[in-house]
Amino acid sequence: MPKEQEVLRIGDRDVVVTNPGKIFFEAIGATKLDLVRYYLAVAPGALTGAGGRPMALKRFVNGAAGEAFFQKRAPDNRPEWLRTVTLSFPSGRTADEIVIDDAAGLAWIVNLGCLDLNPHPVRADDLDHPDELRVDLDPVPGVGWSQIRDVAMVTKESLEAVGLTGWPKTSGSRGIHVNVRIERKWTYPEVRRAALAIARDVERRAPAIATSKWWKEERHGVFLDYNQNAKDRTVASAYSVRPLPDARVSTPLSWDELPTAEAEAFTISTVPARFAAIGDPGAGIDAAPGSLEALLELSRRDEAAGMGDAPWPPNYRKQEGEPPRVQPSKQRRATKDYDTPEAEAEREKSRAAMEKRFTAELERRQAANAAGVGTTPTPTGRRRSAVPVIEISRAKSKAEALEGLERWKVRHPAAADALDVADVLVDGMRGRSSLWYRVRVNLTHVPESERPPQEALDPDYDPWAEYAFPDRAGQLERSPRKR
């Protein structure tokens, strides 16, 4: 039987929506066609955030409750009117990514199952100079919405102090984004450096509720994730629909609205009417590009005061001036001792040893899988952390990982009762083309005599099981699938 489809005439283009009646948000009964029509209703706002930019496709082909996968490379069967641009990544790889320019292109990628839009902070005609600085307010577990709004207002003050205009929006998840349009004069490292300066300035202004600390063991309150400005990082742009049961939307707000705004008020059911009534609060962003000079001067003052670079994402090679890439609780030497030629030689030796461990671990897992035996947390040969953290689960989905945590709590009720909210660490880990999830527990608040030992993971998902070996940073050839 032919597949069900609906053809939409958008401008002077026809866009085919396949399986239009497929349920994408079960709790509210919203279909794929509902999602497409939502994006068409807010297309001018969505294109302000994502139009003209290369975009990673985050596809939920089975709806919001299904697993997502990332597709950087543009599909081969795209329409001839949809353009692409070639991006290079820190690993050395390249990819032709989709660039949308109009509502038809927007509808076409939504038909692929893209719930949210994930553009890079550059325009397709200049891939080396971002025109957007992104301030991502990411709360640690247990932090309330009102505190996130408070940090956003402090961020506004910090930006205005250096002559920049921030444009806030809900993230559509747990946080708030403040985007800043900038002149296309600075490189990715310079924009990231400016974002770090903002993060530190907000922390100085509101130390009780905001932090610029990268390591989770040091964070409190709301983390200003400066590394979202590193090359190859993307965030959900304006009017993106997020994979939550209520189809919540990342919604631009005015600064007057923000102090009383509630994230759950903005969904695909409510935002189109809001857009029709008041327009797009972020519509003026392109007309307000600012300079980073004052912010980079603030960064220089921080450096003169002894505050150098901060940690980069783990998939980047260690950068010049970056502090030791080791959790503070694991640091065993003076900081200066990590930047000597001997230390660099030691890192190279460690990298070579890591390659051997990857191979040995792969062989061990293959043998364990062949024997039907579960695996245990991967030994690294490194010193144990002074912080008592144990790993609970690894799973393909967040829900499965948290189910493993609940089973652990049943087995260890006394330890579970002693945990603070922030003691449960849920990490989205990058796999080949999608996230997988790891749950760890910090036992600091559990009396030492009652701390459960490390157990076999439940569940124990191996994201590289179907590949010959894991991908690693700097590796130009991607791991092939097993035959």
Q: Band the pLDDT of 372: cuts 50, 70, 90.
A: low
User: Is there a domain that residue 475 lies in?
Assistant: no
Residues 151 and 12 in one domain: no
CA pair distance 43, 108, nearest whole angstrom: 12
What is the average pLDDT across 294-318? Answer: 89
Instruction: Please give the structure tokens belonging to residue 193.
Output: 């450096």
Give Cα separations from 361 to 101, 376, 393, 459, 465 (angstroms). 46, 11, 18, 18, 11
DSSP classification of residue 267: B
Residue pair 440/327 in contact by the 8 Å Cβ criterion: no
CA pair distance 131, 99, nearest whole angstrom: 16
Q: What is the pLDDT of residue 280?
A: 97
Residue pair 87/120 in contact by the 8 Å Cβ criterion: yes
What is the separation of C-alpha 177 from the centre of its chain, rounded to a whole number of angstroms? 12
pTM above 0.85, yes or no: no
Q: Where are the beta strands (DSSP E) in 374-432?
A: 389-395, 424-430
Q: What is the pLDDT of residue 321?
A: 81
- DSSP H or E stretch at residue 106: helix 103-111
DSSP string, 71-102: E-SPPTT--TTSEEEEEE-TTS-EEEEEE--S
Token match 């300035």: residue?
201
- DSSP H or E stretch at residue 349: helix 341-371
Q: Band the pLDDT of 444: cuts 50, 70, 90.
A: confident
Query: What 3-state class would DSSP assign to 180?
Result: strand
Residue pair 445/419 in contact by the 8 Å Cβ criterion: yes
Residues 92 and 221 in one domain: no
DSSP classification of residue 327: -
Residues 139 and 209 in one domain: yes
Q: Dihedral sign, CA of 327, 92, 240, 5?
A: negative
Chain mean pLDDT for the chain: 87
Residues 33 and 115 in one domain: yes
User: Is there a domain that residue 448 lies in?
Assistant: yes
Q: What is the pLDDT of residue 93?
A: 80
DSSP classification of residue 95: E
Instruction: Please give the structure tokens belonging to residue 5.
Output: 């489809």
Residue pair 323/308 in contact by the 8 Å Cβ criterion: yes
What range defines the domain where residue 299 resides?
132-234+288-304
Q: Specify the CATH number for the domain of residue 100.
A: 3.90.920.10
Say if residue 251 is exposed, middle or buried (CB neighbours under 10 Å; 0-12, 13-18, 19+). buried
Other Cβ atoms within 10 Å of 458 Cβ, number = 19
CB neighbours of 10 closer than 8 A, spacing ≥ 6? 40, 102, 103, 104, 107
User: Is there a domain that residue 127 lies in?
Assistant: no
User: Is there a domain that residue 482 lies in?
Assistant: no
Residues 115 and 178 in one domain: no
User: Is there a domain that residue 390 lies in?
Assistant: yes
Q: What is the pLDDT of residue 470?
A: 60
Higher pLDDT, 411 or 476: 411
Q: What is the pLDDT of residue 457?
A: 92
Measure the N-to-C terminal CA separation of the chain; round to a whole number of Å.
32
Q: Where are the beta strands (DSSP E) in 219-362?
A: 222-224
Token match 């783990």: residue?
314
Residues 172 and 149 in one domain: yes
Q: Specify the CATH number for the domain of residue 210.
A: 3.30.70.3300
Residues 172 and 202 in one domain: yes
Higher pLDDT, 318 or 290: 290
Domains in the chain, number: 3
User: Is there a domain that residue 359 lies in?
Assistant: no
Residue pair 235/138 in contact by the 8 Å Cβ criterion: no
pLDDT at residue 249 tops 90:
yes
Residues 91 and 221 in one domain: no
- Of 93, 119, 145, the residue that ends a domain is 119
- Of 248, 277, 304, the residue that ends a domain is 304
Of 133-137, 316-320, 401-405, the range with the highest mean pLDDT is: 133-137
Q: What is the pLDDT of residue 233?
A: 92
User: Is there a domain that residue 270 lies in?
Assistant: no
Q: Band the pLDDT of 474: cuts 50, 70, 90.
A: very low
Largest Cα separation within the chain, whole Å, is 71
From 213, 136, 214, 141, select the one nearest 176 (Cα to Cα).
136
Q: What is the pLDDT of residue 348?
A: 64
From 89, 303, 133, 327, select the one nearest 224 (Cα to Cα).
133
From 82, 67, 58, select the one nearest 240 (Cα to Cα).
58
Residues 382 and 432 in one domain: yes
Residues 146 and 37 in one domain: no
Residues 36 and 169 in one domain: no
Q: Band the pLDDT of 371: cuts 50, 70, 90.
A: low
Total length of the chain: 483
Other Cβ atoms within 10 Å of 177 Cβ, number = 26
* Per-residue model confidence as pLDDT tens digits over 164-217: 999 999 999 999 999 999 999 999 999 999 999 999 999 999 999 999 999 888
Residues 88 and 136 in one domain: no
Pairing of strands 5-10, 210-211: unpaired
Instruction: Please give the structure tokens belonging to residue 71.
Output: 């597709």
- Of 68, 86, 119, the residue that ends a domain is 119
User: Is there a domain that residue 78 lies in?
Assistant: yes
Residue ranges in 187-332 assigned as alpha helix (H)? 188-205, 271-278, 293-304
